[in-house]
Structure 1
Amino acid sequence: MAAFAPLEAGDPSQAGPYRIVGRLGSGGMGRVYLARSPGGRTVAVKVVREELADDPGFRRRFAREVEAAQRVTGFFTAAVVDAAPEADPPWLATAYVPGLSLTEAVAAHGAWPEQPVLTLGTALAEALEAIHSAEVVHRDLKPSNVLLADDGPRVIDFGISVAADDTKLTLTGTAVGTPGYMPPEQLVGRDVGPAGDVFALGAVLVYAVTGSGPFAGGAAHGVAYRVVHEEPNLSHVPVRLADVVARCLAKDPKQRPSVPELVDKLGQLSAARPTEGVISGSGWLPAPVATEVTRIQATPLPEPATGTVPLTAPPAGAPPAAEQSPAGGVSRTAVDTAAIGPAPAAGLLAPPPQPVSAGRLLGLPRRHALIGLAVAAVLAVLAATLLLPDGLPDGDQSNAQGNEPIAAAKELAFQELWSYEEDPAGPPLIVDGKVYFGDQGGTLHALDTAGGTQMWKYDGLQGARPVTIADGAVYAFSGATGALHSVDADTGDRRWSFKIDDASTGAAPKGTEYGITNVAAAKKTVYLLTLPWPKGQPALYALDAETGEELWNRPVSPGLSTALTVADGVIYCGLGGKDYENYLYALDADTGDQLWRIKTGGSNRGKVTSLSVAERTVYFGSEEGTFYAADASSGEVRWKYQSKSKDAEWNGPPLVADGVVYASVKARFNTDDSAGRVYAFTASSGKRLWEFGTTGAASPPVLTGGALHFSDAGTLRALDPRTGKSLGEAPLTTGTDPLLTISGDRAYFDGGDGRLHAGRISLTES
């Protein structure tokens, strides 16, 4: 059984802002450490092996895996807290909780009864559904990569996962995975998609219910031969379950059930005895396994040493005990192992997570929040560690002004690294080591994040700004010309442009002028909303991302389009404005047909100004001060919150992480100085956990370095995400509302002086 162990000489003492306090384990990618953030949060940090870090191809894969991981969210998601793909060596940090692997549980306590296996299978199927919806394929789902906690299982080890939309980065000709759980197509070197994970899930369930895999054991080549050529041994699998896993283990990927089909089928079987399908405490686990999990949770963690904890490498003048690495990297030092204490007997340890409501069922036809259960999938390259959020304190932890001190005082600092002489027209985008932004003159720029060196520029967009990046393309539109441009993200070459006047304008009267207001991209399709003038009706267009060819267009509700995003095959957009009713619409991404709509306000009030989708839930806020959480499938409003101020407007996309929704409001007309707020809500129920009063308009919050960061009237602020208490503040500009983007420990913003500024954030103990 895994255990954390004391640090040894040569082990890192710090990775970025995280103070490393113990060893957790190691894998093919590197070693995993137990660490603490400056705010006291326990995390697991994966430090990549030096020989891999020296491979430029690996670094590209690592960066892409981190990006893919961040697309996976959910109530039970073990979020990627932080990462530094460009550090030397690269590292990744995730939330951390205790757990026992399925391999350890079966080896110690034997095969499981059918009912817990059905509950397990439903949760794992929902996890795969969430993973695949982010266009990620696991490729190595096996019992040792299923970790068990009292609130459900978690899938771990995405060290060899590959983003499904980036086959260029696949390890060509290499069969990665574990014989006995790898599908036949993977063993013979063919392409592996989501159906490969379905095969692995079937094999995992056979192992859980019988104690051995469906193709027996022995030498790897013998197991692989049986997987490809022989039928699985299901003789000891209960009949109901055998029917399901037999289909999962079909040789032909096309004959296997889809993941949504599995969720429904396993859910129906599990719900046949619903009181045993409840995840409440550890009751869903077999009794001896539940006892072991409880024991693991009770084992205390080591405490980090006190002192300065910089967000990046310590500044010049720091004590010479540690060998400094490049910014954001890893510091190594001789370790006082006595400060850590002996390794306990139990496994992956952390304070017990919050209990899950007895009303949360696994396996009912209506799929509950367990879609994110195994989404430690977000650990793109993290091997062999269970990661989940720290529990939030119970009760109303509101702090209206957010000024109460915490136990250890903090100091937030911003150190400028470079500036670039162009004035951004919108918040910059940061992807794969490049900064993309459009300037006020209509030129699109790509800069190197390290030094601000120009990589390329693209002229002639007349006030354009980049609105999204997907599949290696930057999409920018010119409101003046009504044209959308697709630009190669690496070279700056134009791939194509699409002008609304050239489109099949069946959505509005001929001769109507058009402007583009919103753009989103997903699954090789680009969607754009247009605003016609002087009269006519807005239209939604779908374009082929490779060619720019129009696929279809649909008229949409009159008024201004105010928000647009695409998730899980559905387009979500806010429409309305002067003289029109305001709604959030859900439209089929393949056809543009309306699925449902939610009214958010009457004419002149209620436009959707804040929108994101996570865990089959749409979170959005409107300009009349109401924040909503709605079922993404049906449009049923699950909960809503009304801001205290009538002048409040929800600002920018809300952040959903670790089962918490973070969102900001600003004063709509600047008539109410008290309207500015940052809020934290429980994602499932809408319970307000805390609120923080701001001086001005708060930018959308970002979680990085274990703290919640946002701009407040030109001041950068950091809050404890658990309590909403201030961790520090640092001046950015003399302006009141900079266009701010935070990525890792870097902040990029317009300084109100005609320049783009970039600098490093650090949070230290004072």
Structure 2
Amino acid sequence: MQAFTPLEAGDPTRIGPYRVVGRLGSGGMGRVYLARSPGGRATAVKVVHDELAEDSSFRARFRREVAAARRVMGPFTAPLVDADPDAETPWLATAHVPGLSLGAAVARHGAWPEQSVRALGSGLAEALEAIHRARVVHRDLKPSNVLLAPDGPRVIDFGISVAADDTKLTTTGAVVGSPGYLPPEQLIGGEVGPAGDVFALGALLVYAATGTSAFGGGPAHGVSYRVVHEDPDLAGLPGELADVVGRCLAKDPLRRPGVPELVAELGRWEGADGTRGTFTGATWLPTPVAADAMALHTDPLPEEAGMVTAGADHPVGADLPTVGPAHTAVATARLGRPPARPSSAAHPGGWVRQRRTAVLAAAGILVVLTAVAGLLLPRVLSGPSREGNGVGGSGSTATPTVVAKQLTVREQWPSDEDLWHPVVADGKVVGEGQDGLLHAVDADSGDTIWTYDDPTASSLEGVSDGLVVASSNEQGTIQGIALDGGKRIWSVGAQAHTAPGTTFHLYLRIVVADGTVYVNALYDLPEGSEPSGRYAVSALDAATGRLKWTRPVEYGLSDALAVVDGVVYGGMWEKDGSYFYALDAATGDQRWRYRMQDRYGTEVTAIRVSGDTVYAGDSRGDLHAVDARRGTRLWTYEPDVQSAQWLEPLLVTDGMILGGTGENDSTRSPGDVHAVAAGSGKPLWTTHTEGEPEVHGLLGGSVLFSTETGTLHAADARTGKSPAETRLSPDDPDAAVVGDRVYFDGGDGRLHAGRISLTEE
């Protein structure tokens, strides 16, 4: 059984750096090919139709959608790994999923049992959670865009087909999409948001459970009429599943459940072997579908294009065309001596070196650090692999059985700017420059796009919904700056949240979510007061600066702050102990308070919310798992470390939590990377690092983490062993990643951009 067909005469043999080996299919935007990456990885490369490539409006939309899709990362999505929207024939590449589509599976084997439908829904809901977290709406979720693999479903084409559909819509004025899966609001010309994808998810579950559409068959206009005006047919669904699906298919988008709610509801499924909510082997698929999926999963890739035949009379050879420029060798570039970093006194607000918080954690996968003795930065960089110092629960140092990996970076450009704390969003890299100003450079070229010339707003807090947020402790202001153009949109002064009788002193943390600025701040009390200061967490309207609410804390407030689904999470300490809290984001009312320690002064230093669980790492080195709804303890992990705190970010992926611990001070102190079972808190492995680590994500079954010594490691995700490593500079590279692009301080006073790969030796 094969998921691909042989190449035909006229098919390209190469698309950009990818060697084409077969056909996967075609769609409304273009033809999809099976290809090998330069390192031999299987990749799906989509080449757009000629008529779209000639449309300037399509190219603009395609470029925008590619930039958005780069931010999507999740275990049930096929990530975008490469693209060239400016090629003569635009193309994009995603990770190849060797699986059959949901449409093919149902057509071939019929309706699914309830447990398989629930498992499908659980994986698809989690995929949508990752897509929406990156501020992308799929808009075309249908059976052909869901691929089935032994370890779970994969959603493909998120956001990408929108460029083609929008171009066709502009040209014809018609609604473009798949009848029966488009939500009512899209059919009547309304705005389509995440709730539209929830509608499509409900329709997919009906299709899987019954083998038919929730709104019947026949001509497209008839199906669309029933979607808008009639109730879905849920007769073939079991009662509890029918209730969930019925809410997904509500006509009013506001009445549909949120994706996190669906993740929680549908996640309570059991596989054929009795395991709960675990996509392993083929325990989640119907037996005949599982057999097909396993066969596709084990099929080898075809030979190189020059070796493949498209039938006896039509050999496919070297005379076939190439799409995009071929890969060429490039020279190395010598770096100058790095300029001195400013002292803490020179930096606005008293700058102290600190590992960069992942402001757009869903936007990136990897951070790459490479150099040769801190002096040479080759255009193609790689580091040696070696046996690691990872230790499991028993501290074993046996030779690992996994295949060693090789890290490689191909530099794209160096910029004239040296940006600290870079954040990547909408095709731009924003950061703090040596001149004390904020700058934005083009993510594709490194050219400076704008400079914000107000030195009182040089401390970058993050980027959210097209808004750059910056603060000044000296002036006490928070400013919102347009990502496009670099013009100030609003400014909020400290007086808006400073209580009578106190004086603003310091911003600890600022987060912007849903049009609201949430602030952790420290205030001074009059001289001679006991205590001398007071803390507060406050919420201000981003458009007007009006104070919505404030909640004073007498003894202490942690730096860590997170706002997720209408809830503010943070840490505080009182005279009788240290707490982790949840507040209503709209009112500031306390939802719950969880006691972490029966002692004063322990801080929450890292927060991550995943489904119904919130994870909080503290300054004593403990990691807490807390029920996000009730604030009750689920488990606490106490690693064997001393005087270390959890560092941001924490990542939750593939049923485990990945995070680093260290001192987080101005010295290069050692640290550790931990993998902990998300459901139980059981330690999986720990790896020691020479400097404080920052965990970036998974690539090819490896965990990528960097250290402040300038080194990137890739350790086996199962054991923590066999880390490949490569060096960028003798200092913290302060890197940011979107998809396979990495932006980092090269140690020569310039921001660099590169692409990375992780290949087997």
Q: TM-score, normalised by structure 2?
A: 0.73
Q: Which of these residues, 549, 567, 570, is aligned with residue 552 of structure 1?
A: 549
- CA displacement at 1:719 relative to structure 2: 1.2
What displacement does 1:696 show?
Answer: 2.0
Q: What one-letter code is carried by the residue in structure 1 that aligns with 2:514?
A: K
User: What do you get for the CA RMSD once the two structures are aligned?
Assistant: 4.9
Aligned to 2:109: 109
Residues 22-421 of structure 1 mapped to structure 2, 5 A cutoff: 22-34=22-34, 44-46=44-46, 52=52, 58=58, 61-62=61-62, 65=65, 76-78=75-77, 80=79, 82-84=81-83, 88=87, 94-95=94-95, 97-112=97-112, 117=117, 120=120, 136-149=136-149, 153-159=153-159, 175-229=175-229, 232=232, 249=249, 251=251, 253=253, 282=282, 284-301=284-301, 325=324, 396=392, 407=403, 410=406, 412=408, 415=411, 417-420=413-416
Q: Is the 8 A contact 2:267 2:277 kept in 1?
A: no
Matched residue, 2:382: none
CA shift, 1:290, in A, is 4.0
Structure 1 partner of 2:571: 574
- CA pair 428-459 structure 1, distance change in 2 beyond 3 A: same
- Counterpart residue number, 1:542: 539
- CA change 1:205–1:696 in 2 (3 A) is closer
Question: 1:58 & 1:727 partners in 2: Cα distance?
Answer: 43
Q: CA deviation at 1:498?
A: 0.3
Give the whole-Å Cα distance in 2 for the aligned partners of 1:126 and 1:416.
Answer: 33
Give aligned pairs, total.
677
Structure 1 residues 515-556: Cα deviation after superposition (integer angstroms, max 9, x where no partner): 322111222222222121353422222233344433322224
Aligned to 2:430, which of 436, 447, 461? 436
Residue number in structure 1 paired with 2:696: 701
Partner residue of 2:467?
473
Is residue 2:525 matched to residue 1:525? no
SS of the aligned residue for 2:548 comes to strand
The yes-or-no answer on 1:594 pairing with 2:590 is: yes
**1:47 & 1:398 partners in 2: Cα distance?**
50
Shift of the 621–35 alpha-carbon distance from structure 1 to 2, 3 Å rule, reads farther
Task: Give 1:495 deviation, angstroms.
Answer: 0.7
Asked whether the 8 Å contact 1:78–1:658 carries over to 2, the reply is: no
Cα distance in 2 between the residues matched to 1:30 and 1:242 = 36
TM-aligned CA deviation for residue 35 of structure 1: 5.5
Indicate if the aligned counterparts of 2:66 and 2:160 stay in contact, CA closer than 8 A. no
Kept in 1, the 8 Å contact 2:481–2:489? The answer is yes
Partner of 1:537, secondary structure, is strand
Q: Deviations over 1:390-414 (max 9, x none)?
A: xxxxx95999999989756736457
Structure 1, residues 110-146: CA drift from partner, whole Å, max 9, x if none?
3345665566556656665665566554433333344
**SS of residue in 2 equivalent to 1:456:** strand
1:373-399 deviation line (CA, Å, top 9, x unaligned): xxx9999xxxxxxxxxxxxxxx95999
Amino acid at match of 2:463: I
SS in 2 for 1:651: strand
Look up the equivalent residue of 2:585 and give its one-letter code: A
1:491 to partner: Cα distance: 1.1
Shift of 1:658: 4.3
Which of residues 679, 683, 699 is equivalent to 2:674? 679
Report SS of the residue matched to 1:428: strand
Q: Which residue is equivalent to 1:510?
A: 501
Match for residue 352 of structure 2?
none
Is there any run of 5+ residues in structure 1 with no aligned partner, and where? 306-318, 333-375, 380-394
Name the CA distance, whole Å, in 1 between partners of 2:282 and 2:217. 31
User: Structure 2: how far apart are the matches of 1:123 and 1:512?
Assistant: 50
The CA distance in 2 between the partners of 1:274 and 1:762, in whole Å, is 39
Provide closer, same or farther for how the CA distance between residues 538 and 725 of structure 1 changes in structure 2, counting only shifts above 3 A: same
SS at match of 1:652: strand
For 1:223, give the aligned amino acid.
V
| Alignment CA distance shift 1:54-1:627 (3 Å) | farther
- The question of 1:487 aligning with 2:478 is answered no
Q: Offset of 1:514 from its aligned partner?
A: 3.5
Letter in 2 for 1:435: V
Name the SS for the 2:185 alignment partner. helix
AA partner of residue 679 (structure 1)? H
CA separation of 1:257/1:157 partners in 2, compared to 1, >3 Å: closer, same or farther?
same
Bigger mean CA offset, 197-206 vs 480-489: 197-206
CA contact (8 A) 2:716 2:723 kept: no
CA–CA distance in structure 2, aligned partners of residues 747 and 262 of structure 1: 33
Distance 1:198 1:243 in 2: 14
Check 1:757–1:127 CA distance in 2 against 1; reply closer, same or farther (3 A cut).
Answer: closer
- 650, 653, 656: which one aligns with 1:654: 650
Secondary structure, aligned partner of 1:555 = strand
CA contact (8 A) 1:618 1:630 kept: yes
Distance 1:248 1:761 in 2: 39
Structure-1 separation of matches of 2:220 and 2:703: 47
Secondary structure, aligned partner of 1:4: coil
Q: Secondary structure at the match of 1:538?
A: strand
How far does the alpha carbon of each residue in 1:623-681 deviate from its partner, in whole angstroms, 9 at most, with x for none? 322334444333444444434331433333123444443323334569996x3233344
The one-letter amino acid of 2:471's match is: F
C-alpha displacement of 1:512: 1.9
- Which letter does structure 1 place at the counterpart of 2:729? T
Paired residues of 2:68 and 2:426 also in contact (CA < 8 A): no
2:309 corresponding residue in structure 1: none
Return the offset for 1:473.
Answer: 1.1
Residue 715 of structure 1, aligned match among 687, 706, 710:
710
Matched AA of 1:107:
A
Query: Percent identity over the alignment?
Result: 49
Give the whole-Å Cα distance in 2 for the aligned partners of 1:713 and 1:249: 49
User: Retained in 1: the 8 A contact 2:604–2:618?
Assistant: yes
| Equivalence for 2:350 | none
Structure 1 stretch displaced more, 31-40 or 695-704: 31-40
Instruction: Pick which of 100-109 and 681-690 moved more.
Output: 681-690
Distance in 2 separating the partners of 1:760 and 1:263? 35
CA distance change for structure 1 residues 606 and 320 in 2, over 3 Å: closer, same or farther? farther
Tell me the residue number matched to 1:565. 562
Deviation at 1:500, TM superposition (A): 1.2
Give the 3 Å change call, closer, same or farther, for CA 646–266 of structure 1 in structure 2: closer
**Residue type at the aligned position of 1:698:** P
Distance 1:719 1:287, change over 3 A: closer
Whether the 8 Å CA contact 2:710–2:729 is kept in 1: the answer is yes
Cα pair distance change 1:92/1:513, threshold 3 Å: same
Change (3 A) 1:469 1:260: closer
Would the aligned equivalents of 1:441 and 1:463 in 2 still touch at CA under 8 Å?
no
Quote the offset at 1:7 in angstroms.
Answer: 5.3
Equivalent-residue separation in structure 2 for 1:219 and 1:562 (angstroms): 58
Q: Is the 8 A contact 2:568 2:583 kept in 1?
A: yes
Kindly tell me: are residues 762 and 591 of structure 1, through their superposed partners in 2, closer, same or farther at Cα, counting changes over 3 Å? Answer: same
Inter-partner Cα distance in structure 2 for 1:509 and 1:690: 50
What is the alpha-carbon distance in structure 2 between the residues aligned to residue 601 and residue 520 of structure 1? 26
Bigger mean CA offset, 556-565 vs 467-476:
556-565
- Give the match for residue 614 of structure 1: 610
Question: What is the TM-score when the length of structure 1 is the normalising length?
Answer: 0.73
- Go from structure 1 to structure 2 and tell me whether the alpha carbon gap of 1:415 and 1:284 turns closer, same or farther (over 3 Å shift): closer
- Structure-2 residue corresponding to 1:315: none
**For residue 751 of structure 2, what is the aligned residue in structure 1?**
757
